Structure 1
Amino acid sequence: MLTILSRWYKERFSDPQAVTLVLILAGLALAIYFAGGLLAPLLVALVLAFLLEWPVAQMARIGINRTTAASLVLILFIGLMLLISFGLIPSLWKQGVSLIGDLPSMIDKGLFTAQQFINQYPQFVNPTQLDTMVAELKKMLDTQHLLDIGKQLLGYSASLLVLMVYAILVPLLVFFFLKDKDELLRASKRFFPSNRDLARKVWNEMHQQIFNYIRGKIIEIVIIGVVSYAFFAVMDLRYAALLGVLTGLSVLIPYVGATLVTLPIALVAFFQWGISSEFGYLMIGYGIIQALDGNLLVPILFSDAVDLHPVFIIAAVLVFGGLWGVWGVFFAIPLASLVKAVINAWPVHGAAVEETAKAEPLAK
């Protein structure tokens, strides 16, 4: 057993470049896992600077000073975020409050429909199951539960102070990352081993793929969110803006997100129209939007960024989402692509090289 392990180690880790790559990846993963909360502003700023680097580089290429270019790009980005915040968030908040206020009547209608179904088909549903469900709903809506929700909201309001600090720190960090990119990269190289050619090869392969993925994902969120909102508004569906935003954000979780957001859309449509032609038209239209997203929009946006089997994508979402939450879900596909790039670039030595050498005369 020890001989097998020793042979495997020599074959896979005899190259110092491979050991350096493993150490770099392990160090970064451990830093994010154990210090992700402390480094959150820095990580957010790095992601934003990575996205905003392209327009800054284009402006610098035509002769604009990099400091000026970074300032202009950052001002435009902040202005866009403020426009979205003040234009969209109040509407979403209003619709969310309205939805919470309508929940009791929606629950009553759902229970009435369920009771009718039980009366018509008692052989399929046990009446005691409905009683249990009603008891659970009443427990969820009792006073103590509402007090617990209030305490959670107070905790969230306290975290608003942290968000305000981030709102100041993150733009400053993004500005300095964009302005002093070359100096920061040169200074950071001293913390990495000198024999990092393999790590550089993997990064060069992943750099454009990560940028294409993030850019494509943002474009996909905007397109699906706007189209869904327009369709819901034309159908006069209640909470159209809120459900449109949820539909856009659902693309963050491949395959699973569309399934999760379908439930609230179907429930709101059912409580608004019941089993009717409007309900059928809405679900058909929503299905068409999801089909066009999966079969037309995603191949166009991610043709050069994603070359992974759906099984590996779902596994990556589960693993990295469990490790790093929302950020892990968002970067699940780039991280899975990174794993694939590392496997493809991994040097082959020892027995594998000998087998390759033996196979060459036979091929000739």
Structure 2
Amino acid sequence: MQSGSQLPRWLTISLAFPLAILNGWVFLQAVQYFQPLVNIFVAAILLAFVLDYPIRFFQKQRVKRKIATIVVLLLTIVLVVALGFTLVPLILEQLNELTNLLPAWIDSGTEQLQALQTWAAKQKLPENLSSLPTQILDRLSNQLQSFTGTILGFAVDTIGTFFNVLLTVVLTIYLVFNGDRLWDGIFQWFPPHISTKVRQFLREDFHNYFIGQATVGAVLAIALILIFLVLKVPLALLFGLAIGFFSLFPFGTGIGIAIVSILVGLKDFWLGVEVLISAVTIDQINSNFIAPRLLGNLTGLNPVWVVISLLLGVKIGGILGLFVAIPIASFIKDVADSWRDGSLKTEETAIADTQE
């Protein structure tokens, strides 16, 4: 009888595939069962991960970690309170204003399309083609009204979940102070050689994605807000921040620019064109000159795997899953590549290979 190590490669893969699918299904059921605790824990880990960088900066300035942690937490609280009293009310106000203005903008878009339809009729174009813009606008208006209502509902729900927010903050503070001991305990279950590599890949992938992508998104948002103010675009702050937020996700920048350009174009077609051109120009400058210096090769993932990762992230964790899908997929790829190249072999395996 053949041992497991002597089985053909194709048979080993065939046996492993259904087991991987079964384990994935069990994992998905466990995540859904323990919601929203899983999202709270993941959000706390991400916040603690981000706060660890300014703490390390203070440590390099020869400040003790405990003092550096307290200083960073106090600065974070001050920043959050300042944003809560300044930026957040403006965003909510402009969201509410967008909801109120949207019907008038749709009416304006309808008038512009009627003018286009009249021109098409004079050119004796086919009737189906001349009525196409009106049909598109009707569907678009319904989708936009539903979209803005969803955003407002999400904002209200987020503000209303005070207990979850409080629990996330408390857990984040605990992880900031005691996170190293927690992770040391977790990684002790791995063989030493594998533990070091896995920990390195995890930190690098999340650093490259969150720190770099957030910086690029912030630069894009600030630049667009300034350009929109110069162009006298209504709700410039909201639209600039919206595109910056969409840029946090792969392929999101184009979607954000398209949505904002359509919204502004409903009010004024030529202003929408100016928004589209200026936003695409700023995005290209940001993507080709600023992003490569900050991000380098962000994930190394094939675009197909990026899309699959995003879909799985949304399925498992909603919006939060969308945030962590790409760095986790990049981490899995790095581990798989290292395993294939043989750099993740345990000491016992390496010795066995040497003896052979």
TM-score under structure 1 length normalisation = 0.74
What is the CA-CA distance between 1:289 and the residue it aligns to? 0.7
1:81 — aligned with what?
80
2:349 — aligned with what?
none
1:336 to 329, 345, 350: 329
2:353 — aligned with what?
none
- Aligned Cα RMSD in Å? 4.0
2:250 — aligned with what?
254
Residue by residue over 1:115-143, the C-alpha shift from the partner in whole angstroms, topping out at 9 and shown as x without a partner, is 2222322434537767767876898899x
Question: Does structure 1 conserve the Cα–Cα contact (< 8 Å) formed by 2:265 and 2:273?
Answer: no
The 10-residue stretch of structure 1 (198-207 or 296-305) with the greater mean CA deviation from structure 2: 198-207
What is the CA-CA distance between 1:242 and the residue it aligns to? 0.7
User: Aligned in 2, Cα 1:334/1:116: closer, same or farther, shift over 3 Å?
Assistant: same
Q: How does 1:150-299 map to 2 (within 5 A)?
A: 153=153, 157=156, 160-162=159-161, 164-189=162-187, 192=189, 194-195=190-191, 197-255=193-251, 257-275=252-270, 279-299=272-292
- SS of residue paired to 1:85: helix
User: Aligned in 2, Cα 1:185/1:26: closer, same or farther, shift over 3 Å?
Assistant: farther
Letter in 2 for 1:241: L
Aligned identity (percent) is: 21
The 10-residue stretch of structure 1 (211-220 or 112-121) with the greater mean CA deviation from structure 2: 112-121
User: Aligned in 2, Cα 1:273/1:48: closer, same or farther, shift over 3 Å?
Assistant: same
The 10-residue stretch of structure 1 (47-56 or 311-320) with the greater mean CA deviation from structure 2: 311-320
What is the CA-CA distance between 1:204 and the residue it aligns to? 1.7
Question: Does structure 2 conserve the Cα–Cα contact (< 8 Å) formed by 1:238 and 1:268?
Answer: no
Which consecutive unaligned segments of at least 5 residues does structure 2 have?
15-20, 343-356
Question: Does structure 2 conserve the Cα–Cα contact (< 8 Å) formed by 1:109 and 1:271?
Answer: yes
Residue by residue over 1:85-111, the C-alpha shift from the partner in whole angstroms, topping out at 9 and shown as x without a partner, is 322122222222222222222122222
1:8 — aligned with what?
9
User: Aligned in 2, Cα 1:124/1:69: closer, same or farther, shift over 3 Å?
Assistant: farther
Question: Does structure 2 conserve the Cα–Cα contact (< 8 Å) formed by 1:12 and 1:347?
Answer: no
User: Aligned in 2, Cα 1:235/1:346: closer, same or farther, shift over 3 Å?
Assistant: same
1:99 — aligned with what?
98
What is the CA-CA distance between 1:234 and the residue it aligns to? 0.7
Letter in 1 for 2:166: I
Question: Does structure 2 conserve the Cα–Cα contact (< 8 Å) formed by 1:222 and 1:248?
Answer: yes
What is the CA-CA distance between 1:269 and the residue it aligns to? 3.4
Question: Does structure 1 conserve the Cα–Cα contact (< 8 Å) formed by 2:109 and 2:267?
Answer: no
2:318 to 317, 325, 341: 325
Q: Which has the higher contact order (CA 8 A, sep 6+)?
A: 1
What is the CA-CA distance between 1:306 and the residue it aligns to? 2.9
Which consecutive unaligned segments of at least 5 residues does structure 1 have?
14-21, 350-364
User: Aligned in 2, Cα 1:343/1:289: closer, same or farther, shift over 3 Å?
Assistant: same
Number of residue pairs matched by the alignment? 328
What is the CA-CA distance between 1:248 and the residue it aligns to? 0.5
**Structure 2 Cα separation of the partners of residues 325 and 79 of structure 1:** 29
Question: Does structure 1 conserve the Cα–Cα contact (< 8 Å) formed by 2:246 and 2:256?
Answer: yes
**Structure 1 Cα separation of the partners of residues 216 and 39 of structure 2:** 25
What is the CA-CA distance between 1:279 and the residue it aligns to? 5.0
TM-score under structure 2 length normalisation = 0.76
